[in-house]
Amino acid sequence: MTRTLLFFLAAIAFPASTADRAPRLSLCDLIARRSEYNGRMVAVRGRVAAGGHGPYLVAPGACSYELVTRGVVWPNIINVVFPDNRSPDVSAHAPFTLDRGALQALDDYFRNAHYQDGLDVAVATYVGYFVTYPDLDKRVSPGVPGALRLGFGPAGMGAPAQLVIKSIKDVPANRGNAPR
């Protein structure tokens, strides 16, 4: 498992009372109701996937809702970032700090479970500050071959939303269940 993914997965120390107050939604429901939850703390469960620029959450199964703007289909994924109030990108700002004290505990969990990136699957509940662009329809170029969705994450990924994480909980590693 890459060190970056472990680092993101390891942010588990979040007071239970705050995490319990965040509405818990499936990734599919959160994307479908993205405007309602924009700028709010949420808990969302998804399959953790490693990208070239860090992890993101993927719907663990097919969603009945398909986000389409101006004929362009968005993937059922949510980009994941650490809070960074010094970043020029305000979508990474959050009204909390990440508790890094739990990093070693989760790192130990994956090491002891002999987690194998690319073979095993990690499904996690992320708690954090949810952000989306209210103007997603203006962030696509329908009919332009090769045009990117200008969402969150690296170019080409085009996530319709982002979660600035405060914590992660409920992270079992499922042995040998990675999608092929």
124 within a domain of the structure (yes/no): yes
Give per-residue pLDDT as tens, 34-92.
999 999 999 998 888 877 677 789 988 899 999 999 888 899 999 998 888 888 888 88
**Is residue 15 predicted with pLDDT exceeding 50?**
no
Range of the domain at 104: 3-173
Asked if residue 31 is part of any domain, the answer here is yes
CA distance 4 to 8: 6
Quick one: pLDDT at residue 141?
Answer: 84
Q: What CA–CA distance (Å, rounded) separates 66 from 173?
A: 28
The answer to whether 166 touches 129, Cβ cutoff 8 Å, is yes
More confident residue, 131 or 93: 131
Q: Is residue 179 part of a domain?
A: no
Confirm whether 46 is domain-assigned. yes
Residue 180 located in a structural domain: no
pLDDT above 70 as % of the chain: 74
Per-residue pLDDT for 14 more than 60?
Answer: no
Report the pLDDT value the prediction gives residue 133, as an integer from 0 to 100: 92
Average pLDDT along the chain: 77
Helices (H), the chain: 3-9, 16-21, 27-32, 34-37, 103-112
Looking at residue 159, what DSSP letter applies? B
**Chain-centroid distance, C-alpha 129:** 11
pLDDT at site 57: 92
- pTM listed for this prediction: 0.78
Instruction: Decide if 28 is inside a domain.
Output: yes
Stronger pLDDT, 114 or 26, i.e. the higher one:
26
pLDDT over 60 at 7, yes or no: no
pLDDT of residue 26: 93
Whether 17 is covered by a domain: the verdict is yes
pLDDT at 2 over 60: no
In a domain, 158, yes or no: yes
Displacement of CA 33 from its chain's centroid (Å): 15
**Overall domain count for the chain:** 1
